[in-house]
Chains A and B, each alone.
Chain A
C-alpha cells in the first residue's frame, strides 16, 4: 500500500490570534490589578487624612487643655489606627515596591503623622501626668538588618501586652528630612534595629523582658493588671 504522508501546514494565523488573545487577557489582568492597587492607595490616603484630622483635633483640644479635662484627649483609638495604617503600609511596600512614587508619598505622610502624634502625646503625657511610655523604633528593609523583622514581632507583642506603650516605627533608610532630623536629634547610628526609649538609644534585637527592664512603668502596669484580675476573680 502506498502511504499518503500528512504534511500539515502550521497555522501561523492561529498562533497569532492566540498570542493576541493571551496578551489581551494579560492586559485585562494588569488593568484589574492596577485598579485594586489604586483602590488600596486611595484607602491608605483616606486613612491618613482621617488620622491627620484626628491629630489636628487632638492638638486643638490640647491647646484648650487649660479649660478642658485630660481624659478625652489622645485615646487609644488613634494609636490603633496609626498602627493599622503602619501594618498596611508595610504590606503595601512588599506588594507595590518601595520605589513606587504614590507609595513613597503615603509613607512620607505617615512618618510625619507619627512624629506629630509622638510630639503631641508627649506633651499631653507631661501635662496630664499620664504614665505612657514611648518607643521610637528604627528599622531597615534591607537584607543587612536580619533582626529588624524579629524586633517587629517583639514590639507588636509588647504593644498587645501594654497598650500604654506607644510605638512609632521609622524606616532608617527612608530619605526624608523629618526622619533625618529625628535621627540627628537622638543621635541614632546605623546599627539596626535601634530604639529610642527613655531618653536612650538601644541597639540590637531586644526581647520583651529586656525592653520591660528599660521601661520601669511596666512593673506598675503589671501590678495594676494583677490587682484588677484578682478583684474580678473575687
Chain B
C-alpha cells in the first residue's frame, strides 16, 4: 500500500514536470520562433574562444578549423588553445597553427580542465569569452547567431544547441535523440530563467561574469554546472541560442558512456549539495522551485522504479524457477483475453506520462532537427535508456555518499 502511494506521488511528479514543460512551450513557442533573429549590423563584440585540450590529437585540428571557419570578423575573434599537459601527439599537431595570427597556444602541466580554462580566461581581454571542448566542432553561423542575444544587457551567457557529431552506431544515434531533448529542455529552461548548466561546448560568457564571480572551479569535474549555478546564485541571466549549432563527439561504447554519465551524475549530485541553499527560495524563482527539486525527484524516481522492477522481476523469475522445478516446461498456447490487460491506475497514468514524453520528444526533434522523423532510436531512447540510466545514478550516489573521487576518463 505504502509502495503504491509512493508510486502515485512519483508518477504525479513526473507528469507535473512534463505538463509544466509543455505549458511553457505552448506559451513561448511563438517567441522561440522569432527571438533574437535580428542583429545590429555593426555589433561584433571581440570574442575569445578557449580550447582546453588533453590528449585530443584525433580531433583538435578539426575543432580549431571549425573555429577558424566561423562567420565572424577575423580581427574580432581569437582562439586560445591551452594544452593541459597532453602526452599524445597533440603538441606536434598544434604546431600547425603556430603562425596563425588568430590562434594563441599555451602549454601547461596537467591540472584538469578548469585550470586550462582559467589560464585562457586570464590571458584574454575580449568582451566575450567562450570555451569549446577539443572534441567538438562549431557550425559556421554558431557565434554570429549568438551575438543578438548579447545585445540584451541582462543576458550574461549564451548556451548553444549541442548535437552529436556524425553518429555512427546505435548508441550514438540514441544519444542524438537525447541531445535533441536536451536542446528543447534548455530552451524552455532559459525562458524560465532556470538553466543549471553552461556546457563546455561553446557556451559564450560576457567577460564580466568571470571578473565579478570568479573563474572556473574544480567542481567535481563538472565545472560547467557549477559555473551555471554560481551565475544563478548571482542572478545572472543565461540564454540559449537554439540556432547556434555545435557538434560534439559522443561515447561510442556503453563503457565510455557509462564512465561519462557517472561523472555527470556525480557532479550533478555534488554540486546540488554545494548549492543546496538555492532550493525553495523565492528569490531564485523557477530554478529553485522547479528544476532543482525535480532534479532530485528524478534521481529518487529512477532508483525507486528500478528497485520496484528488479524486485518484481526477481519474484517472477523465482516463481518460474519453482514452477519449472515442479512441473517442468509447459508451453501453453497464448490466447488474447482483454481481461488480463493491466488497466490499473498506475498503468493508465504511466501511459499518459509516456504519451506526454513522446509528444515532448517529437517537439524537441522539430526544434533540434527542424523535422519530425520516427526512428527506431526514439524507442530505444524511451525504453532502453531508462533501464541503463539507474546504473550510473547508483554509481554516482555511491561515490557521493562515500566521498569517492572520480576521474575524467
- In the complex, whether B109 has a CB less than 8 A from a CB of chain A is no
Q: A10-B282, A88-B339 are in contact. Are A150 and B322 (CB under 8 A)?
A: yes
Chain B residues 314-334 with CB under 8 Å of chain A are 319, 322-323, 326-327, 330
- In the complex, whether A213 has a CB less than 8 A from a CB of chain B is no
CB < 8 Å: which of B153, B193, B344 contacts A95?
Answer: B344
Distance in angstroms from B127 CB to nearest chain A CB is 9
- In the complex, whether B300 has a CB less than 8 A from a CB of chain A is no
Chain B residue contacts of A37, Cβ below 8 A: 343
Chain A residue contacts of B237, Cβ below 8 A: 6
A207 touches B326 (CB 8 A): yes
B153 touches A21 (CB 8 A): no
A8 touches B16 (CB 8 A): no
A3 touches B208 (CB 8 A): yes
A160 touches B193 (CB 8 A): no
Chain B residue contacts of A21, Cβ below 8 A: 19, 23
> How far is A153 from B327 in the complex, measured between Cα atoms in Å?
7
**Residue from A10, A17, A32, A43 whose CB has the most chain B CB atoms within 10 Å:** A10
A3 touches B326 (CB 8 A): no
- In the complex, whether B236 has a CB less than 8 A from a CB of chain A is yes
Contacting chain B: which of A23-31, A170-178, A179-187? A23-31
A6 touches B193 (CB 8 A): yes
> How far is A93 from B132 in the complex, measured between Cα atoms in Å?
59
> How far is A88 from B338 in the complex, measured between Cα atoms in Å?
11
Chain A residue contacts of B283, Cβ below 8 A: 7
- In the complex, whether A127 has a CB less than 8 A from a CB of chain B is no
- In the complex, whether B123 has a CB less than 8 A from a CB of chain A is no
- Assign chain A's interface to a size class: 35 or more
Q: A5-B236, A21-B23 are in contact. Are A10 and B12 (CB under 8 A)?
A: no
Distance in angstroms from A144 CB to nearest chain B CB is 17
A154 touches B154 (CB 8 A): no
A18 touches B19 (CB 8 A): yes
CB < 8 Å: which of A33, A149, A160, A208 contacts B343?
Answer: A33
> How far is A25 from B15 in the complex, measured between Cα atoms in Å?
9
Distance in angstroms from A48 CB to nearest chain B CB is 14
Interface string of A62-77 (1 = CB under 8 A from B): 0000000000000000
B285 touches A8 (CB 8 A): yes
CB < 8 Å: which of B24, B27, B193, B341 contacts A8?
Answer: B193
Distance in angstroms from A46 CB to nearest chain B CB is 12
The dominant DSSP class at the B interface is helix
> How far is A157 from B322 in the complex, measured between Cα atoms in Å?
13
- In the complex, whether B203 has a CB less than 8 A from a CB of chain A is no
CB < 8 Å: which of B15, B236, B327, B351 contacts A208?
Answer: B327
- In the complex, whether A22 has a CB less than 8 A from a CB of chain B is yes
Interface string of A145-175 (1 = CB under 8 A from B): 0000110011011001000000000000000
- In the complex, whether B156 has a CB less than 8 A from a CB of chain A is yes
- In the complex, whether B345 has a CB less than 8 A from a CB of chain A is yes
**Considering only CB atoms, which chain B residue lies closest to A28 in the complex?**
B352
Chain B residues 276-306 with CB under 8 Å of chain A are 282-283, 285-286, 288-290
> How far is A6 from B193 in the complex, measured between Cα atoms in Å?
8
**Considering only CB atoms, which chain B residue lies closest to A158 in the complex?**
B327
Chain B residue contacts of A28, Cβ below 8 A: 352
- In the complex, whether B206 has a CB less than 8 A from a CB of chain A is yes
**Considering only CB atoms, which chain B residue lies closest to A11 in the complex?**
B286
- In the complex, whether B20 has a CB less than 8 A from a CB of chain A is yes
Q: A7-B283, A18-B20 are in contact. Are A26 and B349 (CB under 8 A)?
A: yes
Interface string of B24-44 (1 = CB under 8 A from A): 100100000000000000000
> How far is A29 from B154 in the complex, measured between Cα atoms in Å?
43
**Considering only CB atoms, which chain B residue lies closest to A152 in the complex?**
B323
A-B contact pairs, 15 of them (CB 8 A): A1-B153, A3-B208, A3-B236, A6-B237, A8-B193, A15-B20, A18-B20, A30-B348, A33-B347, A36-B341, A40-B339, A88-B339, A91-B339, A150-B323, A208-B327
> Chain A residues in contact with chain B, CB under 8 A?
1, 3-11, 14-15, 17-19, 21-22, 25-26, 28-30, 32-33, 36-37, 40, 43, 88, 91, 95, 149-150, 153-154, 156-157, 160, 207-208
Known: A7-B235, A95-B344, A154-B326. 12 other contacts (CB 8 A): A1-B206, A3-B156, A14-B23, A25-B19, A29-B349, A36-B341, A40-B343, A91-B340, A150-B322, A153-B326, A156-B327, A160-B330
Closest 9 CB pairs of A and B: A36-B343, A6-B237, A157-B327, A5-B235, A29-B348, A8-B193, A33-B345, A18-B20, A4-B154
